[in-house]
Amino acid sequence: MTQVVREVEIGTLETLNKDVNNEVERAARHVFNISHQYKAITYLKDNMNGDEILIWTSVKTIPANRTLKFKVWILVSLKGK
C-alpha cells in the first residue's frame, strides 16, 4: 500500500525561486551527464578493435538503507583485426 503525505512549506518568493533553480540545475546536469555518457560509450563501442573489452559500471547509492547498487556491462569486440 502506498501512502501519500502532503507537505506544506512556507517561505518567500526568493527562497522558492532559489529552490526551483537548484532543482532545475541538478536535473539539467543529470540529463547532460546521461547524454554525454551514452555518446562516449557508443563511440568507444563502435571503435573497438578485435582484442579489446569495454567494461562499464554504474553505481547507485540508496540512502534509505545506506547501500550501493552496482550494474556492470561487459562488451567484447567480435571484430577481427
Q: What is the pLDDT of residues 18-69, one digit of tens each?
A: 999 999 999 999 999 999 989 998 998 888 888 888 888 888 888 888 888 8
CA pair distance 62, 66, nearest whole angstrom? 6
CA pair distance 76, 22, nearest whole angstrom? 40
CA 57 from centroid of its chain's CA atoms: 11
Strand, coil or helix: 25: helix
CA pair distance 15, 25, nearest whole angstrom? 15
Give the model's confidence band at 74: pLDDT under 50 very low, under 70 low, under 90 confident, else very high: confident
- Reading the block at residue 27, the C-alpha cell is 536535473
